[in-house]
Amino acid sequence: MKWTMALCLAILSLLVLDGPAPAKVVGQTVEYRQNGTLLKGYLAYDDAVKGRRPGVLVVHEFWGLNDFARQRADKLAEMGYTALAVDMYGEGKVTRDRAEATKLAGHVRSTPLMRERAQAGLKVLRKHNLVDPQRLAAIGFCFGGTTVLELAYSGADVKGVVSFHGGLTAPKPEDRKRLKAKILILHGAEDPHVKAEEIKAFQEAMRQAGADWQMIYYGGAVHSFANPEAGRDKSSGVAYDPKAAARSWQHMQLSLQEIFQNKMGLDG
C-alpha cells in the first residue's frame, strides 16, 4: 500500500507542481567593440529556459543605455527571449541633460555610426550561445526607434523591427531593395516630434519598397509615451501614457509572436 501511495503522490506532485520553472532573469554587462570604440551593452535572459531562443535587440532613447532600456531587456527575458540592450554612444555613456542627449544622438544619427553600432550589437546577439541566429528582431524607443528602422534599411538579417515613438526616417532608394524585416511603428497620435510630412514620406517609401509594414496610432499619446520617466505633462509634447504604453507593449508582443511563430509573452 505504501509504495502505491508514494507512487501516486509522486505523480500527483509532478502534475501539480511541475509547471514551468519560475523565471530567473540574469542580467549582465557585455563589452564589445565597433571600429575601436568600446561599447557596453546589457544582456538579459531567463536562466530557467534552456537552449537557444529568439534574440531581441533593444535600442535606448537619446539619453543612452539607462535603466529604462535595461528594464525592457529584462521584460523580454522574462518572456523567454534573449535580449541585448545595446550601447549606441560608447563606454555606456548616459546623460540626463537634454542638450547633451541631443548632441550625442545627433552625432550618431548624422553619421554611419547609427547603422554600424546597431549592427555591432546585432552581431554580439547573433553569436550568443542562448540565441537562435535565425530568429532575431530589434525594438527601439525614440532615437532607438529611428535606429531600428535604419538597421532594417541596412538589410540586416532581422525578422522584424518595432519602433516605439521613434523618428520616422524613410528608406533611401538603395535601402528599399535591401529591406526585408517586417516593420511595426507604434506612434503617439499627438506626437509633435513626428511631422505629418515625415509620416507621409515614410508610408510612401514603405509602399515603394513593397515592405511589410504596420503603423499603430495611439490617440492622445505624445512623444515618449512608453517611458514612465517622461512625466505626465502632455502639453510639453513628451509624456508617459500608461494606456498607450501597455497597449504598445502588447502589440509588440503579438508581432514578435508572429515573426518568431511562438507564444512568448501576453500570458506571462
CB 254, min distance to a copy of itself, A: 6
Name which of 85 and 226 has its Cβ closer to a copy of itself. Answer: 226
Q: Residue written as cell 513628451?
A: 238
Residues 6+ apart with CB under 8 A from 42: 27, 28, 29, 30, 65, 69, 70, 73, 84, 85
Instruction: Write out the residues near a copy of itself by the rule CB under 8 A.
Output: 1, 4-5, 8-9, 11-12, 15-16, 183, 189-190, 203, 206-207, 210-220, 243, 247, 250-251, 254, 258, 263, 266-267
Among residues 75, 108, 101, 70, the alpha carbon closest in space to that of 86 is found at 70
Residues 6+ apart with CB under 8 A from 113: 34, 88, 107
Name which of 7 and 48 has its Cβ closer to a copy of itself. Answer: 7
Name which of 116 and 212 has its Cβ closer to a copy of itself. Answer: 212
CB 98, min distance to a copy of itself, A: 27
CB 207, min distance to a copy of itself, A: 7
Q: Residue written as cell 535606429?
A: 147
Name which of 2 and 50 has its Cβ closer to a copy of itself. Answer: 2
CB 185, min distance to a copy of itself, A: 9
Count of Cβ atoms closer than 10 Å to residue 176 Cβ: 16
